[in-house]
């Protein structure tokens, strides 16, 4: 990027964002190729361009074409593509505006342009989305209708859910409190990447924020025989209305108490309950584990973590443990003592239950708050 002879080239942020609307793919291709995979898979977690890993970064699906903001699980939210380029390239705000503005031929308030700059690609306007994103009202109504169509896991029609849980050695599904937030739906809609719709039975979990408000629904797609549905994403979270926040959420499967048990997945939660008779709150994924906010009455938390080769589960548990201690809440990580089998990516507490039964949990039945 070169400077104009009339002085320093200084485009305005608003002008740059207007020009960049629909052009972020080529902007990233030219200025930050490491952001291209996330932009292609907007809304899905990918390897972080700064910290690496498996799924620590994503570009927001709703704004991918317009302002192209994103979030790093380590560094937090980046409001738009300008902020992302500053973060990835270690640029100042002014430098980022100059680079993008020069690439897009944006003139600054004084009519100056970046002479001599030749973009490495031909910038094109991305085609408009095939359809508009659903509105917040539509999302809330769709989730309400979905939840109204559910029944407890003890209902006769919920046999696919019980077959699935029994196949994993899980027998804890008949507790009344559980049915408030974990239920069965006979015909969940699944939309694949090609736009094809299909119907599947499944288990649904309601994610609740620290204020007690329902935020979204996580869906576990099954077959009528109680197997995981043969689809690309057998577990899928419902889109989140813009006025609701996911960080801090959990599936509260029991009343609050001074000592709280949490884990990542539903199967782990119900495995611990099957073996030990204690309720465990699923946090759904590692990101929500790291950002979980316990109820005000909580004095201690036991974290039933997964053990995986890339240590994503352990790291998320450690992040939560550290943050809880900083909040004055005692915390302890419970990690399976089984080795990860050859050819497997991980071992969790459901693996312990299936391999060793309740005896595999011996030594974990007493929680010492003073630790």
Q: What is the pLDDT of residue 224?
A: 96
330 phi and psi, to 5 degrees?
-70, 145
User: Rounded mean pLDDT of 255-260?
Assistant: 93
What are the tens digits of pLDDT across the range 13-27?
999 999 999 999 999
Q: How far is 352 from 358, CA to CA, in rounded Å?
A: 8
305 φ, ψ (degrees, to nearest 5): -90, 155
Q: Please tell me which residue, 99 or 115, carries the higher pLDDT value.
A: 99
Per DSSP, the three-state class of 195 is coil
**Confidence (pLDDT) at 322:** 95
Instruction: Look up residue 78 and give its DSSP letter.
Output: E
Q: What is the pLDDT of residue 118?
A: 42
- Residue range 216-235: mean pLDDT, rounded: 95
CA 153 to chain centre: 25
Q: Give the integer Cα–Cα distance in Å for 290 and 269.
A: 17
Residues 6+ apart with CB under 8 A from 326: none
Per-residue pLDDT of 26-41, as tens digits, reads 999 989 999 999 999 9
Distance of CA 158 to the CA centre of its chain: 27
Helices (H), the chain: 13-20, 24-31, 36-40, 81-89, 93-103, 136-148, 159-167, 266-276, 286-291, 312-326, 349-356
Percentage of the chain lying above the pLDDT 90 cut = 57
pLDDT band at 364 (very low <50, low <70, confident <90, very high): low
Report pLDDT digits (tens) over 277-329.
999 999 999 889 999 999 999 999 999 999 988 888 899 999 999 999 999 99
State pLDDT tens for residues 169-210.
999 999 999 999 999 999 999 988 888 999 999 999 999 998
Q: Which domains does the chain have, with CATH numbers?
A: 1-132 (no CATH), 134-246 (3.90.980), 247-371 (3.40.1360.10)
Count CB neighbours of 267 within 10 A: 22
pLDDT tens sequence across 139-169? 999 999 999 999 999 999 999 999 999 999 9
Q: How confident is the model at residue 132 (pLDDT cuts 50, 70, 90)?
A: low
Neighbours of 52 (CB within 10 A): 9
pLDDT digits (tens, 9 = 90+) for 52-76: 877 889 999 888 989 999 998 877 8
What proportion of the chain, given as a percentage, has pLDDT over 70? 91
pLDDT over threshold 80, residue 336? yes
Mean residue pLDDT across the chain: 87
């Amino acid at each position: 990027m070169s400077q104009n002879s009339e002085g320093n080239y200084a485009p305005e942020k608003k002008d740059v964002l207007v020009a960049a609307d629909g052009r972020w793919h080529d902007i990233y291709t030219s200025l930050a190729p490491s952001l291209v995979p996330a932009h292609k898979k907007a809304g899905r977690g990918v390897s972080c361009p700064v910290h690496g890993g498996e799924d620590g970064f994503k570009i927001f699906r709703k704004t991918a074409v317009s302002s192209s903001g994103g979030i790093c699980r380590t560094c937090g939210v980046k409001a738009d593509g300008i902020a992302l380029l500053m973060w990835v390239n270690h640029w100042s705000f002014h430098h980022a505006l100059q680079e993008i503005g020069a690439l897009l031929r944006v003139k600054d308030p004084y009519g100056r342009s970046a002479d001599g700059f030749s973009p490495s690609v031909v910038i094109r306007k991305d085609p408009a989305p095939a359809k508009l994103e659903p509105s917040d009202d539509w999302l809330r109504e769709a989730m309400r209708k979905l939840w109204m169509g559910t029944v407890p896991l003890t209902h006769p029609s919920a046999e696919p859910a019980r077959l699935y849980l029994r196949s994993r050695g899980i027998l804890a599904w008949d507790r009344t409190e559980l049915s408030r937030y974990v239920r069965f739906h006979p015909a969940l809609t699944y939309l694949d990447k090609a736009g094809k719709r299909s119907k599947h039975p499944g288990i649904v979990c309601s994610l609740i924020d620290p204020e007690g408000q329902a935020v979204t629904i996580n869906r576990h797609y099954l077959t009528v025989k109680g197997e995981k549905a043969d689809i690309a994403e057998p577990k899928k979270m419902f889109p989140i209305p813009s006025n609701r926040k996911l960080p801090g959420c959990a599936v509260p499967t029991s009343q609050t108490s001074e000592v709280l048990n949490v884990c990542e997945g539903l199967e782990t939660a119900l495995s611990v309950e099957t073996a030990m008779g204690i309720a465990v709150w699923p946090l759904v994924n590692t990101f929500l584990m790291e950002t979980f906010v316990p109820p005000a009455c909580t004095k201690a938390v036991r974290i039933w973590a997964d053990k995986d080769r890339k240590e994503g589960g352990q790291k998320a548990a450690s992040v939560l443990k550290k943050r809880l201690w900083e909040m004055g809440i005692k915390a302890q990580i419970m990690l399976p003592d089984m080795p990860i089998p050859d050819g497997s990516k991980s071992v969790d507490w459901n693996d312990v239950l299936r391999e060793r039964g309740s005896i595999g949990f011996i030594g974990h039945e007493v929680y010492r708050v003073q630790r």
